[in-house]
Amino acid sequence: MLTVMQIPVLNDNYIYLLRDYDSGLTAAVDPAVAKPVLDTLAEQGWHLDFILNTHHHSDHVGANHELKNKTGCRIIGAKADNHRIPGIDIEFSDGDRFRLGETLFQIIETPGHTSGHIVYYSAEDGVLFCGDTLFAMGCGRLFEGTAEQMWHSLQKLRALPSATRVYCAHEYTMNNGRFALTIEPDNAALQQRMREVRRLRDENQPTVPFTIKEEVATNPFFRADVDALKTSIAMETRPPLAVFAELRARKDVF
Ligand code: ZN
Ligand code: FE
């Protein structure tokens, strides 16, 4: 069994501290900064064993060296990005597995935001740590990959069990939802979700985690092959990839 602690840092980043109950092994996902992680570890009486990086951006690997120096933790990241994940010790590719004590993670490659982006999925615990690939009602910008790569990556995540709880690396939900409403203003599930998102943000509560099921119903980037969305933007005759690329281009200037 896995305990997940959510640590909000910087403007809108989330760092996750994972604790495997049986073994006591602990991991930090995408530590942008060190102090909040060290403080939380001290409060809980935990020792940091691993860092799990999803990609090389500084707001995800910023504390790698400091945390490794202070705790002796080992750093896990994508083999494809081993030249730019600071302090990397363990390199994983698509389909590899990693055990945090009794908790088994599967590594899924999701290029698009960066070419070497990976995500960590535990089927038993029903949790996904997806960095900057999938956001609530959104997806990462295409800094290195193509629209085709990102569309393929998102389809891999869409295929996970619908109850999977998704822990992304940013609180971008409100802005993503506003954009989604410009694409599908008549989507009742989207309208309902945005009411809930506004309530949570008014109370300064996180909107993360969320579920794959919610994304299937409301995330335009998951819905580029759904007739209702295509019709809503008058692209019903276009292939899903063209629709996805159009959505991404519109969001870039939203
Ligand atoms: Zn990023
Ligand atoms: Fe980021």
In sequence order, the 6+-apart residues with CB closer than 8 A to the CB of 196 are: none
For 225, the domain range is: 2-252
pLDDT tens for 135-159 read: 999 999 999 999 999 999 999 999 9
Query: Could you tell me which of 76, 7, 77 has the C-alpha nearest to residue 42?
Result: 7
Position 189 scores a pLDDT of: 98
The ligand placed nearest to the CA atom of residue 113 is 1
Question: 168 C-alpha vs ligand 2 centroid, how far in Å?
Answer: 9
Distance separating alpha carbons of residues 59 and 55, to the nearest angstrom: 10
Give, as residue ranges, everything with CB less than 5 Å from ion ligand 1.
57, 132
Distance separating alpha carbons of residues 133 and 129, to the nearest angstrom: 10
Buried b (16+ CB within 10 A) or exposed e, 223-244: bbebeebbebbebeeeebbebb
Contact 144, 114 (CB under 8 A): yes
Question: 113 C-alpha vs ligand 1 centroid, how far in Å?
Answer: 7
Query: Could you tell me which of 179, 206, 180 has the C-alpha nearest to residue 4?
Result: 206
Position 226 scores a pLDDT of: 98
Position 161 scores a pLDDT of: 98
Residue 245, domain CATH: 3.60.15.10
pLDDT band at 173 (very low <50, low <70, confident <90, very high): very high
Question: 166 C-alpha vs ligand 2 centroid, how far in Å?
Answer: 15
Question: 114 C-alpha vs ligand 2 centroid, how far in Å?
Answer: 10
Segment (H or E) for 28? strand 26-29
Position 67 scores a pLDDT of: 98
The pair of structure tokens assigned to 86 is 């600071």
Question: Residue 7: beta bridge partners?
Answer: 15
Question: 102 C-alpha vs ligand 1 centroid, how far in Å?
Answer: 29
The stretch 173-186 carries a mean pLDDT of 98
Q: What letter would DSSP give residue 79?
A: G
Position 152 scores a pLDDT of: 98
pLDDT tens for 26-47 read: 999 999 999 999 999 999 999 9
The ligand placed nearest to the CA atom of residue 57 is 1
Position 118 scores a pLDDT of: 98
Please state the pTM of the whole predicted model.
0.98
Question: 223 C-alpha vs ligand 2 centroid, how far in Å?
Answer: 23
Position 33 scores a pLDDT of: 98
Position 133 scores a pLDDT of: 99
Tokens 């007739």 belong to: 227
Catalogue the active-site residues. Answer: 55, 57, 59-60, 113, 132, 170
In this structure, the number of other CB atoms found within 10 A of the CB of residue 206 comes to: 15
Distance separating alpha carbons of residues 3 and 120, to the nearest angstrom: 15
Total tally of structural domains belonging to the chain: 1
pLDDT tens for 84-112 read: 999 999 999 999 999 999 999 999 999 99
Segment (H or E) for 45? none
Question: Residue 6: beta bridge partners?
Answer: 16
Residue type, 133: T
